[in-house]
Structure 1
Amino acid sequence: MRIYKNIPKRILSLCLVFAIGISMGVLSDHFVSENSRFQTFTEKLFRSEVCSNTLTLHYTLAHPEKKGIRKPEATLGTALSDPAKTTSLCQEYEKELKSFAYSRLSEENRLTCDMLLLYFHTRASLGKNSALDEPLGPGLGVQAQLPILLAEYTFRTKEDISDYLKLLSTVRPYFQSIIKLEKQKSQSGLFMSDTTLDRILKQCHSFVANPDSNYMDDIFAQKLKAFSNPAFSSEDQKKLCTYHHKLILTEVIPAYQELADSLESLRGTGKSSRGLAFFEGGREYYLYLLQSQTGTYVPVGQIEKRLSAQLLSDYREISSLLEQNSSLIDRLNQCSGELTLTPTQMLEKLPELMKKDFPELKDATYELRTVHPSMKKFLSPAFYLTPPVDTRNPNVIYINDSGRTSSLELFGTLAHEGFPGHLYQTVSFAENNPSDIRYLVTSSGYVEGWATYVESYGYEYAASLMNDPDSAKNAVRFAWLNRSMNLCIYSLIDIGIHYRGWDAARTAVFLKSFGINNASTAAEIYQYIVETPGNYLKYYWGYLNFLDLKTVCQKRLGDDFDLKEFHRRILEIGPVQFPVLEKYMK
């Protein structure tokens, strides 16, 4: 809470504003009314969108009643949609947005208007190509993410516990809507390949393998024990855990089994493992993904050209570093051993190290939690869980201590997830009190691009913690350049597979040119990118947009360029598509 110490001056300033307002008369009223009308529209839009399903509502608002929202019956919604209805609704929203007197809106409302116009126009462009949407996937699919979202469902009140238990009973009808969708895709020749099918079935079978020791039971018991609003007796906890286990056995596991059986019955009806370019409307759908997920609207050829230029630049810098010091790789191996901080200590160090480059954030509280042992093999080394918009806390960073990364990589990951990455960006944006709709309609390209952009700073900061910071500086720079090149290569392959029509053999040849000769590694990279179109570009193309925006501002401002002010303005604007970001940076 912000406390104003100089109250008399505030009262005086309000009196002056009131007096000036009287003299402005009709003009002021007209300006205020247009902004009020726009804000009423965005509030109505937010209430409509946030109630689409219980998970969205629960993760977005801790106290929906304070927003005038009555909780609907607990549901996961449906995977089925009416493309024509969706297009029509988006066009209606676009028309309504254009009805506002743009020049009479405040800058904040103009920015929101620009962002929403582009969002709904892009969404309406999908049309019949929505048939290519795929809710399932081995790693990022609904069936893989749902247990995590349910496990992390916060218990703030007893009603939350009741809603959560009801949600378990809606998993089956929700999966049945997915089954119906997949059958439609099969009939249209759009079903997944058998390779992808096998990977999804493996994940489903893993979930149902030990029904009497499902990790969701363990997590539910832990959350009940920690619940104190008011606390349950030991006997009540036992009864609830018994009921929860019954729901897992009779609702959730049968839902996964039914999903697996139904998918298995569709085996062989999909195309061989190919990208979107091999489907009718696939290239158009891929362009839609780039716009809607990555937030970019430049031609694919221009993206490829920029990616190739960065790849060459990184390669030349790596070559130069190795020419200067042939033992650089050995020094890099030493660096990882010298960074002996725990994840907690890393997160404590980062805010201090980043002060010279990023605006200080005084009230960024967070919790550090460890991933449940049974979930370690499915999750990344760390991830950030955003708080509800009406409480702005808790900010939670989860650590997966499975030991799959080096200490230097973990430091970069925590910079990505924490400071100055996702957590820092989220809290910084919230300090500007944006309209609620800005939390629902965002740009993944901005969000993941920013986190990747600042990850490079994290590597730089890590060097200052080494025994010999000067010699470590080039070693950790080498490590970042190597990561940058990998992300760039995967981004080029993403375009190659989904827009240019590369097959597995063409992809393997491309990887060989960068020294990746292992056939199984190449096959795994190919298969992952086939299943997650546009995913790498959210991170890397987003990163390059921030990098290029910084270069443009540096050239324009010369000696007047202030890196901290540059970052402050980006954070103030918040998650928007890159054309909108560039417009308001100017």
Structure 2
Amino acid sequence: MTNNFFKKGRWLLSIFLVVSLLCSCTPPPKSAATPTSAGYEQYKAADLSMQKNFNLFTEDLFRNEISNSGISFHFSIADPASRGLKTVPLTLGDFSLDNMKQNSKDLLELKTKLMQFNPRKLTKDQRLTYQILYSYIETELTSDGMELYTEPLTSTIGVQAQLPVLFAEYAFYNRDDVENYLSLLSTIDDYYSQILEYEKEKSKAGLFMSDSAADHVLKSCEAYLIQPDHSFLAETFNTRIDALNDLTPEEKAAYKEKNLKVLEENFVPAYKNLINGITALMGTGTNEKGLAAFPDGKKYFEYLVNSNTGTSYDSVESLKKAIEKQISSEIKALGQITKDNPKILDQLDTYSFRYTKPDEILDSLKSQINKDFPELPPCQYTVKYVPVALESSLSPAFYLVPPIDRYEDNIIYINGNKRFQNDDLYTTLAHEGYPGHLYQNVYFLSKSQNDLRSILSFAAYSEGWATYVENYSYTLDNGLDPDLGKLLAHNSAITLGIYAYLDICINYEGWDKEQTAKYLGTFYNVDKTDIVDTIYNSLVENPTNYMKYYVGYLEIMEMKSAAQKILKDKFDLKEFHTFLLDTGPAPFSVILPEFRNWLGKELRTN
């Protein structure tokens, strides 16, 4: 399974308006009297005025949001002046308990401002943005009072693992970018000190991570105890500096020396202090089980499910039943394939894809998806490999979302660690590239007229889409026996579904490791202790992470199945994909009504 934890890396440090949205209802619009013929132009003028004000409202919100962090700012927009932004925030943000509590107050204020607009007087696109914002606010307000349940430090997707890679990919467009980069990098020790103070607050409240989770974080941190002059941050910095044409050789040399000094005096000490601080707190986290074992753990898990999946299901229990149903359907389909073609199982240990090199794979995918997906504008990509020193602490592959005004430039990272050598690169690059993250982001960014929507992150939409098309790629002309491709696709979905199902069992229903082992052994013949331990610990340390992938996939598959059932031979896969892509990142609670409207339109026009 491919974990693409960097697809929204630019929002790693932002707390406000960056997560998937709740399955909450849009408030009823304010009533509007039917205009008389004499008053029609006045009514229309009022509509136009409100639409203009709504645009101003979202523009202000966009500028405020990307100004919370210098990293978010730079990864969001390459040319700030084009949006009226002149000052780059030279901070990594404010990660403090006080700031989190203030966010709840800010959300209430934002809700008041939002509800001053009448959705009926907005354009179709504006109404969708309104619904997304309202849903987001309602979701995030349910976490009020549970701020200390947030965990910024986890082994693979935590701040300490991701932030250095963002620095390595911080683009230098001019001299000012170099200065801003060095200023931001020099604040990393202060930023990590904030996080450490927050972890101390968690410890006092009895909510600190278990010793096993802390040990995983410590190992992640150790990967960044680097020799400045031999580090990937020095190498990538030097490469970016050398590419600038507006610097003299002397200036370039001076910047390189300054970078080494910042790495030595700020970056490395930041990780040493974090290691010392986490080590000192070990032993204070007494819960080795999931969230359900904490006082408000079940309530917080409900919040995480709604926030991270934006599911259209109204409860964790109903979502669990939907997951079980989807897994069962995949198992049934897999069984039918093996029944019709028993010899297909003989190929499981010997199969290979036709293409194995990244560029060949991406070119093949790009050419084959034309029949089922709309065309993209011109764009390019660069495939990079994770630095060897970081292979053990990062995911198998990830995609970096480009700035909204430079969507043409895309970067995909591949992790060459031996533990990922059995992962199929073909389907991994379908997930990250075409028609996955790269394709979806370029499509939306090239069409979006609303900057705010372009920066909002909805994990279940993006990861659900990427998971859906990853499975789709198994069925392409890729060198596999068609039956084997279908079998592998179903098997991949089943595996991810099991993780999502167990996530609920462990973090919501309170299963311990023994119950988890019994389930895996009874139903899936998984009896190796190390495998059970890995699955259990991963779900305890990263609640709802796998659900982002699977629930998004589940919601898309359910919409597709409904469309096929209702439209029958009128169903057009390309039109369905176009609908999802045009709707863009949003919670499925908001997408589902849009889907029903689209389905009705398809019935009428076909």
| Equivalence for 2:92 | 76
Question: Structure 1: which 5+ residue stretches go unaligned?
Answer: 1-22
Q: 1:95 aligns with which of 109, 112, 115?
A: 112
| Equivalence for 1:33 | 49
SS in 2 for 1:274: coil
Pairing 1:361–2:376 present: yes
What is the CA-CA distance between 1:354 and the residue it aligns to?
1.2
Spell out, residue by residue over 1:489-539, the C-alpha distance to the aligned partner (whole angstroms, 9 max, x if none).
111111111100011111111121211111011111111111101000000
| Equivalence for 1:478 | 487
Would the aligned equivalents of 1:408 and 1:459 in 2 still touch at CA under 8 Å? Answer: no
What is the CA-CA distance between 1:263 and the residue it aligns to?
1.3
SS in 1 for 2:365: helix
| Equivalence for 1:222 | 239
Aligned residues: 556
Spell out, residue by residue over 1:430-464, the C-alpha distance to the aligned partner (whole angstroms, 9 max, x if none).
23223111123231111110111111111111xx2
- Separation in 2, partners of 1:219, 1:561: 48
Pairing 1:440–2:452 present: no
Bigger relative contact order, structure 1 or 2 (CA pairs below 8 A, ≥6 apart): 2
| Equivalence for 2:583 | 573
- Separation in 2, partners of 1:250, 1:277: 41
Q: 1:512 aligns with which of 518, 521, 539?
A: 521
| Equivalence for 2:221 | 204
Q: State the percentage of identical aligned residues.
A: 36
- Separation in 2, partners of 1:529, 1:48: 34
Pairing 1:452–2:492 present: no
- Separation in 2, partners of 1:232, 1:197: 46
- Deviates further, 91-100 or 38-47: 91-100
SS in 2 for 1:395: strand
Would the aligned equivalents of 2:67 and 2:89 in 1 still touch at CA under 8 Å? Answer: no
What is the CA-CA distance between 1:475 and the residue it aligns to?
0.8
| Equivalence for 1:166 | 183
Would the aligned equivalents of 1:88 and 1:124 in 2 still touch at CA under 8 Å? Answer: no
SS in 1 for 2:409: coil
| Equivalence for 1:8 | none
| Equivalence for 1:313 | 329
Spell out, residue by residue over 1:114-168, the C-alpha distance to the aligned partner (whole angstroms, 9 max, x if none).
0000001111111011210011111111111111111111111111111111112
- Separation in 2, partners of 1:346, 1:575: 26
Pairing 1:381–2:390 present: no
Q: 1:374 to 1:332 in 2, by over 3 A?
A: same
Q: What code does the residue aligned with 1:511 have? A: L
SS in 2 for 1:47: helix
SS in 1 for 2:569: helix
Q: 1:122 to 1:106 in 2, by over 3 A?
A: same
Q: 1:523 aligns with which of 503, 511, 533?
A: 533
SS in 1 for 2:146: helix
Q: 2:361 aligns with which of 346, 355, 369?
A: 346
What is the CA-CA distance between 1:402 and the residue it aligns to?
4.1
Q: 1:137 to 1:274 in 2, by over 3 A?
A: same
Q: 1:222 to 1:374 in 2, by over 3 A?
A: farther
- Separation in 2, partners of 1:450, 1:298: 21
SS in 2 for 1:254: helix
- Separation in 1, partners of 2:210, 2:421: 35
Q: 1:327 aligns with which of 327, 330, 343?
A: 343
Would the aligned equivalents of 2:223 and 2:393 in 1 still touch at CA under 8 Å? Answer: no
Q: 1:252 aligns with which of 267, 273, 282?
A: 267
| Equivalence for 1:11 | none
| Equivalence for 1:582 | 592
What is the CA-CA distance between 1:379 and the residue it aligns to?
3.0
Q: 1:379 to 1:204 in 2, by over 3 A?
A: closer
What is the CA-CA distance between 1:366 and the residue it aligns to?
2.5
- Deviates further, 534-543 or 555-564: 555-564
Pairing 1:46–2:62 present: yes
Q: 1:177 aligns with which of 194, 218, 226?
A: 194
Would the aligned equivalents of 1:364 and 1:424 in 2 still touch at CA under 8 Å? Answer: no
- Separation in 2, partners of 1:198, 1:475: 40
- Deviates further, 238-247 or 175-184: 238-247
TM-score under structure 1 normalisation? 0.91
Would the aligned equivalents of 2:520 and 2:527 in 1 still touch at CA under 8 Å? Answer: yes
- Separation in 1, partners of 2:218, 2:422: 34
What is the CA-CA distance between 1:71 and the residue it aligns to?
2.0
Would the aligned equivalents of 1:51 and 1:72 in 2 still touch at CA under 8 Å? Answer: yes
Q: 1:581 to 1:232 in 2, by over 3 A?
A: farther
Pairing 1:562–2:562 present: no
Q: What code does the residue aligned with 2:125 have? A: E
What is the CA-CA distance between 1:408 and the residue it aligns to?
7.5
Q: 1:503 to 1:136 in 2, by over 3 A?
A: same
- Separation in 2, partners of 1:441, 1:362: 22
SS in 2 for 1:366: strand
| Equivalence for 2:507 | 498
Q: 1:283 to 1:354 in 2, by over 3 A?
A: same
What is the CA-CA distance between 1:319 and the residue it aligns to?
2.3
Q: 1:401 to 1:184 in 2, by over 3 A?
A: closer
Q: What code does the residue aligned with 1:191 have? A: F
SS in 2 for 1:398: strand
- Deviates further, 406-415 or 503-512: 406-415
Q: What code does the residue aligned with 1:426 have? A: N
Q: 1:547 to 1:396 in 2, by over 3 A?
A: same
| Equivalence for 1:6 | none
- Separation in 1, partners of 2:577, 2:344: 31
Pairing 1:542–2:552 present: yes
- Deviates further, 50-59 or 96-105: 96-105
- Separation in 2, partners of 1:398, 1:196: 26
Q: Of Structure 1 and Structure 2, which has the larger fraction of its residues in helix?
A: 1
Q: 1:426 aligns with which of 406, 418, 441?
A: 441
Q: What code does the residue aligned with 1:169 have? A: S
Spell out, residue by residue over 1:306-341, the C-alpha distance to the aligned partner (whole angstroms, 9 max, x if none).
1111222222222222223333133244431x5244
SS in 2 for 1:219: helix
Q: 1:314 to 1:25 in 2, by over 3 A?
A: closer
Spell out, residue by residue over 1:14-62, the C-alpha distance to the aligned partner (whole angstroms, 9 max, x if none).
xxxxxxxxx9743432221110011111111111111001000000011
- Separation in 2, partners of 1:87, 1:133: 14
- Separation in 2, partners of 1:191, 1:413: 34
| Equivalence for 1:303 | 319
| Equivalence for 1:465 | 478
- Separation in 1, partners of 2:516, 2:423: 30
Would the aligned equivalents of 1:172 and 1:252 in 2 still touch at CA under 8 Å? Answer: yes
Would the aligned equivalents of 1:122 and 1:291 in 2 still touch at CA under 8 Å? Answer: yes
Q: What code does the residue aligned with 2:162 have? A: Q
What is the CA-CA distance between 1:86 and the residue it aligns to?
1.7
- Separation in 1, partners of 2:564, 2:112: 38
SS in 2 for 1:335: coil
- Separation in 2, partners of 1:505, 1:327: 36
Q: What code does the residue aligned with 1:491 have? A: A
- Deviates further, 511-520 or 368-377: 368-377
Q: 1:533 aligns with which of 505, 522, 543?
A: 543
- Separation in 2, partners of 1:303, 1:347: 35
Question: Structure 2: which 5+ residue stretches go unaligned?
Answer: 1-38, 597-606
SS in 2 for 1:383: strand
Would the aligned equivalents of 1:335 and 1:408 in 2 still touch at CA under 8 Å? Answer: no
